[in-house]
Amino acid sequence: MLRNAPLRSKLILTLVGPLLALMVLAAVVIRSSLVESDKAAQVSQRAGFAAKLAPLIHGLQAERSLSSSYVASGRKAPPDQLDNERRVVDRVVAAYRGAASRLHLKGDQELQVRIGYGLRELEKLPVQRRAVDTGPIDRNVAVEPEIEEDEVEGELNVGENHGPIDDPPEAFEQYTDTINDLLDINTEIAPGSNDPRLIQAVRASIALARAKEFADHQRGLLADVFARHAFAPGQYGKLTSLAAVEVIYVAQFESAATPRQIDLYRKATQGPDANLIQHMRDEAVESGGQGRVEGDAAAWFKSSSVQLDRLRGLEQELSGDVIATSASIKASADRRALLYTLLLVAALAISIALSLGMARSLIRRIGRLKDDAHDVAERQLPEVVTRLREGEPVDVDAESATPIEAHARDELGQLGEAFNFVHRVAVQLAGREAALRRSVGDMFLNLARRSQSMVERQLELINDLGGRDIGDAMVEVSELDHLAGRMRRNAENLIVLSGAEPARRWRGPVRIDDVVLAAIDEVREHGRVSIMSIQPILVAGPASSDVVRLLAELLENALTFSAPETQALITGQILPTSYLLEIEDAGIGMSDEQLAEVNQRLSEPPDVDLAHAKMLGFFVIGQLAARHGVKVQLRRSRYGGVAALVLLPAALIVQPEPVPEAPGRQPVPAPQPRTVVQRTWGSDVR
């Protein structure tokens, strides 16, 4: 379906896949950043909610301590301070309920359970207060609450049932349970974040709140001890346990707090009130729980309250640090989400722009390449071929110049260059074809003129035969025979040009002198050829006729480019592995450049073209020599002309005959040739 689709559609479909994948990846990353930002927002909201727990816990602790003092006085002390503290606690509880209702706890089941359980515990405040105000007081029972193991560890048991709250000890125990349940809520603030700063800040805040809770327990317990001036059963062990647990939580606070927070804690636990608290507690501990314990309960309670208020201030400071840390985390998450969103959107926009720009550029270049290719194939190249066929002058180099501009080195540029190369080769082939046609025409014209001149000479001789006597007629008949041989050589040259082999052959070996005489008979001015010395050998019969034509062409060239009064000399000698024939003239000679070029053509015959049309003889010589492995070379003659060396290979020599050297036969006199005034290398007589 897509095979025949436009390139534009294919490119768009190719680009859509990666772009969609990039969009999906961008959406995933953006969503992840937004989820992280939302998680940070939830942690920040929880930190703000936890900050509202601190005043509530502090109020409940104060109400518990005042209630303990009120009961320890036998309800004889004025309840004004206790009533004021209860009103403060009611306001804080109302604020806490409102904050809890506005808190989004979707997906956090544990925190929902803890907050719900804490709110249900706060609903018991009226019952606790009635037990404090009207419940029976047993003077032999300590009024401070019992400290259970799960309260020290901060564990939550939602199924726990405290039973009825009928007397002050049960009320005080409920105060402690409620405070512990509220403190447990803070442990669920940090799990929503992986930020170590927030985790450490929450740990420090929780440890301080726990230490403050056990300090408040000690305030109520020692207030009762100092009011009694003695430890009730179990109070001494409880005091040492409370002090030990407080030390543990202070150590946890110091391990999680920052140096600044530790410094604030130490300042809050120093001063006259702190010294008084430490002194009175040490004296109580040193009593061992036996005998009378001296101490002013009011002074103790007042100094302890001041100490707890200072810790409350530090607790607020830590809550502020938690809120600030969570807000910083949220801001960082928001910035990252915004940055990732902007970067991904920018990357997506840039990718789309680059993809579309690249696709548009490719489509435009491909379209331009297609148009240029059509123009070359449908207009330029046919016009050049037509002009070449009609014989008009055409600058092949200019016409084969680069028709398509390759503006880049990429695949499209290489495709344009390849098309330019194909166009250049096509123009050159068309030029060569036209030149070949002209060469063939010129060759046919050359051969036709040769044959025409010989036919006209034959007709003249035939016309003269009628009016001559027998002696003169025999001379003219001999001349007719010579003209027929030359015409036969022209015809066989045409056969050589066609690539075929002439039918005229000798079956058996032929004497070398007969080959030479046959070649002399086929030249125009055969009377000017002199045989100097020919050492006898036998030439293979199938190659003899080609050797005759080769020697005839060389003799024709030697006689044409030498003066009429000069002779062409031919010699032959046996070499160890070959036979050498030499044809030497006394003509105008050739330059070194001409000799080098002609020898190159004779050793490696080129294809027929226009340049060879006027060198038909050399072309025939080269073809015949290449056919039988004969080597032909021209050099300067010692007589001033040109000497042609013909080296027959051993494959053409059958068996030398030990016969005496025969003198060259006298050729039949022939008409005198025209005078040659200039020699053009490689030209033949036409």
52 in Cβ contact with 93 (< 8 Å): no
> For residue 491, what pLDDT is reported?
65
CB neighbour list of residue 611: distance below 8 Å, 6 or more residues apart: 439
pTM for this entry: 0.49
The secondary structure of 201-220, three-state, reads HHHHHHHHHHHHHHHHHHHH
> For residue 347, what pLDDT is reported?
78
The amino acid sitting at 320 is G
∠ at Cα 62 (113, 233), nearest 5°? 95
- Give the integer Cα–Cα distance in Å for 585 and 591: 15
Q: Report the percentage of the chain scoring pLDDT > 90.
A: 10
284 in Cβ contact with 225 (< 8 Å): yes
> For residue 499, what pLDDT is reported?
59
Q: For the segment 445-468, what is each residue's pLDDT rounded down to a tens digit? A: 566 666 656 666 665 666 666 556
- The answer to the question of residue 191 being in a domain is yes
- The answer to the question of residue 145 being in a domain is yes
- The answer to the question of residue 140 being in a domain is yes
- Give the integer Cα–Cα distance in Å for 259 and 249: 17
- Give the integer Cα–Cα distance in Å for 240 and 317: 29
- Give the integer Cα–Cα distance in Å for 585 and 561: 8
154 in Cβ contact with 213 (< 8 Å): no
- Give the integer Cα–Cα distance in Å for 551 and 452: 23
- The answer to the question of residue 634 being in a domain is no
628 in Cβ contact with 496 (< 8 Å): no
- The answer to the question of residue 343 being in a domain is yes
The amino acid sitting at 459 is L
Q: Is the pLDDT of residue 492 over 80?
A: no
Q: For the segment 590-628, what is each residue's pLDDT rounded down to a tens digit? A: 888 888 888 988 888 766 554 454 566 777 888 888 888
- Least confident among 87-91, 514-518, 604-608: 604-608
The amino acid sitting at 451 is S
- The answer to the question of residue 655 being in a domain is no
- Give the integer Cα–Cα distance in Å for 651 and 655: 11
- Least confident among 172-186, 240-254, 415-429, 640-654: 415-429
* pLDDT confidence band for 515 (50 / 70 / 90): very high
Number of domains in the chain: 1
Q: Is 617 exposed, middle or buried (0-12, 13-18, 19+ CB in 10 A)?
A: buried
What does residue 568 show for φ and ψ, rounded to 5 degrees?
-100, 130
99 in Cβ contact with 140 (< 8 Å): no
Neighbours of 669 (CB within 10 A): 11
- Give the integer Cα–Cα distance in Å for 516 and 664: 9
**Which is more confident, 268 or 461?**
268
CB neighbour list of residue 247: distance below 8 Å, 6 or more residues apart: none
The mean pLDDT of the chain is 77
> For residue 154, what pLDDT is reported?
47
- Residue range 174-186: mean pLDDT, rounded: 82
CA distances from 428 to 242, 388, 394, 416, 657 (A): 110, 11, 11, 18, 54
- Give the integer Cα–Cα distance in Å for 536 and 666: 19
244 in Cβ contact with 322 (< 8 Å): no
Q: Is the pLDDT of residue 112 over 70?
A: yes
DSSP state of 641: S
Closest CA to 182 of 65, 97, 69, 255: 97
Q: Is the pLDDT of residue 166 over 70?
A: yes
> For residue 531, what pLDDT is reported?
92
* pLDDT confidence band for 207 (50 / 70 / 90): confident
Q: Where in the sequence is the domain holding 169, given as residue range(s)?
A: 7-347
- The answer to the question of residue 84 being in a domain is yes
Q: For the segment 532-560, what is each residue's pLDDT rounded down to a tens digit? A: 999 999 999 888 988 998 999 899 888 88
CB neighbour list of residue 144: distance below 8 Å, 6 or more residues apart: 68, 172, 217, 220, 221, 224, 235, 238
Closest CA to 323 of 601, 584, 135, 54: 54
- The answer to the question of residue 497 being in a domain is no
- Least confident among 161-170, 293-302, 394-403: 394-403
Neighbours of 604 (CB within 10 A): 9
Neighbours of 664 (CB within 10 A): 17
Largest CA distance in the chain: 190
- Give the integer Cα–Cα distance in Å for 538 and 654: 5
- Give the integer Cα–Cα distance in Å for 143 and 141: 6
Q: Is the pLDDT of residue 587 over 50?
A: yes
DSSP result, 39-56: HHHHHHHHHHHHHHHHHH
Q: For the segment 645-669, what is each residue's pLDDT rounded down to a tens digit? A: 999 999 999 865 554 544 544 443 3
Q: Is the pLDDT of residue 630 over 90?
A: yes
Q: Is 463 exposed, middle or buried (0-12, 13-18, 19+ CB in 10 A)?
A: exposed
Q: Is the pLDDT of residue 569 over 90?
A: yes
- Least confident among 40-44, 115-119, 233-237, 293-297: 40-44
Q: Report the percentage of the chain scoring pLDDT > 70.
A: 72
Q: For the segment 327-363, what is each residue's pLDDT rounded down to a tens digit? A: 787 788 788 778 877 887 887 788 778 777 777 777 7
The amino acid sitting at 628 is H
> For residue 503, what pLDDT is reported?
56
> For residue 171, what pLDDT is reported?
86
